[in-house]
Amino acid sequence: MIIEFILAKPIASLVIISALITFFLNLVTYLVTDKKKMKELKERQKELQRQAKEHQKKGNTDALLEINKQMMQDMPEIIKHSFKPLLITFIPIIIIFSFLKGIYNQTSLGGWWIFYYIIFSMIFSFIFKKIFRM
């Protein structure tokens, strides 16, 4: 039934599938990310960037190097928090995309289905990020 719908209406089905996958990815990210910690890290990075711009305008290279060092110290923590959702969703997404590739290559979209998916998922990702306030 699902496969027949995909073959009959490839664009409509791709819109629905991209919405569902994007919702799943955003939901997992929302649930497993420590929002408070990420907000603190992002605010700290913004403040350090602001300070770096000021020191760059003044030509104060020593202070600029120190600020860059502080910014780099936060990177492992940011990566750790960003990596959790990826670990949870990686295998299911690989399986889903393998399945979709086999089906959509039989449709009028051919190999272009992935570009349509990317466009639709970017739109839905923007919408879901607003909904989840991420």
Q: pTM here?
A: 0.77
Per-residue exposure over 31-53, b if at least 16 CB sit within 10 Å of its own CB, e if not? eeeeeeeeeebeebeeebeebbe
Least confident of 27-31, 58-62, 76-80, 83-87: 58-62
Domain housing 15: 2-132
How far apart are the C-alpha atoms of 31 and 62, rounded to whole Å? 40
Convert the pLDDT of each residue in 66-116 to its tens digit: 888 888 998 898 888 888 899 999 999 999 999 999 999 988 888 899 999
Number of structural domains, the chain? 1
